[in-house]
Amino acid sequence: MGHNHSHNHSHSKNDLKGRNLVISIFLNILITASQIIGGVISGSLALLSDALHNFSDVLSLIVSYVANFLAKKKASIHRTFGYKRAEILAAFINASTLIIVAVLLIIEAIRRFQHPKEIESDLVIWLSLIAIIANGLSVLLLKKDAQTNMNMKSAYLHLLTDMMASVAVLIGGLLMKYYNVFWVDSVLTFAIAIYLIWMGFDLLKDSTKVLMLFTPATIPIKQIVKEINAFESIKNVHHVHVWQLNEEEIHLEAHIDFNEDITLSQFDVILHKIEDLIYRKYNINHVNIQPEFGKEDAKDMIVQD
């Protein structure tokens, strides 16, 4: 039994997220194509690495767009939660690709550092400027939704890191043009890769925790159990599970052993009090309580199913 306090986002907001993602996808396809061509012509590994990162941006944005679309689909008999976890899965995939791309860049940067080559710096400078402008626009489009949505945050991080990478490539291009310091191309590539790993790790960790049904870090289970146990008619709270379904839903289920064989209407009154308490204090908006009286079972707070 439970009460739902959550509020669905409007279709217009979801449509706006989708539109912003589509614009960002096309911008990054344009950047990727120009950087690949420019990287081959100029011989710049940093430019090619930025192109590779931009290509991963395109893939991540497509994944985010598909996840955003699926998340709006209604639940069914075969999918009782619908596709509410699609955006969490997208965040996990995108964070993983950030780290994989970074490792590939590190390997190539070390190889190029051992065998540096002359680079056409003018082309590097102009293409990095174009990438900064295009990625900057994409970052602005996704920034607001990134604050409240893990999927949008993963797409936002891809674009933000790529904008920063393009700034580094621009600096490298200027150094190569005016000082002939061509080894800086490899150093910048290595620095970009380390930055990608740093940005991607936290998101990978957070999305993994949600997918593994770990208790959210902000939820103190022992304190919640203590507060529910304080109700006069409750003898014991046990078999407690708390998990995060997606950005908007936190679920709690528990068994409650009562001191007396109360009626269903009495239980409803207590249930509503419990729901209001944990929603108000802990933002848990889906509650499922199994009432018990004199039942012989394990009374541990956490029970492994």
Residue 98 lies in a domain: yes
Residue 181 lies in a domain: yes
Whether the predicted pLDDT of 11 surpasses 60: no
Tens digits of per-residue pLDDT, 225-283?
A: 999 999 989 999 999 999 998 878 999 999 999 999 999 999 999 999 999 999 999 99
At 266 the pLDDT is 95
Q: What is the pTM of this model?
A: 0.72
At 2 the pLDDT is 53
For range 152-179, the mean pLDDT: 82
Whether the predicted pLDDT of 295 surpasses 50: yes
Tens digits of per-residue pLDDT, 13-67?
A: 556 677 888 888 888 888 888 888 888 887 777 677 777 767 777 877 888 788 8
Whether the predicted pLDDT of 9 surpasses 70: no
The domain of 112 spans 11-211
CA gyration radius, the chain: 25
Asked if residue 175 and residue 36 are part of one domain, the reply reads: yes
CB 45 within 8 A of CB 116: no
Last residue of a domain, one of 164, 184, 211: 211
Asked if residue 128 and residue 273 are part of one domain, the reply reads: no
Last residue of a domain, one of 211, 230, 246: 211
Q: Which helix (H) or strand (E) holds 191?
A: helix 184-211
Residue 304 lies in a domain: no
Among candidates 54, 53, 90, which has minimal Cα distance to 71? 90
Of the ranges 111-125, 130-144, 262-276, 284-298, the best mean pLDDT one: 262-276
For range 126-149, the mean pLDDT: 85
Of the ranges 32-36, 68-72, 82-86, 274-278, the best mean pLDDT one: 274-278
Strands 250-258 and 234-244 come out as: antiparallel
Asked if residue 150 and residue 16 are part of one domain, the reply reads: yes
Encoded tokens for 230: 């304080």
Indicate the number of domains in the chain.
2
Do you know the residue count of the chain? 305
At 303 the pLDDT is 65
Tens digits of per-residue pLDDT, 215-231?
A: 999 999 999 999 999 99
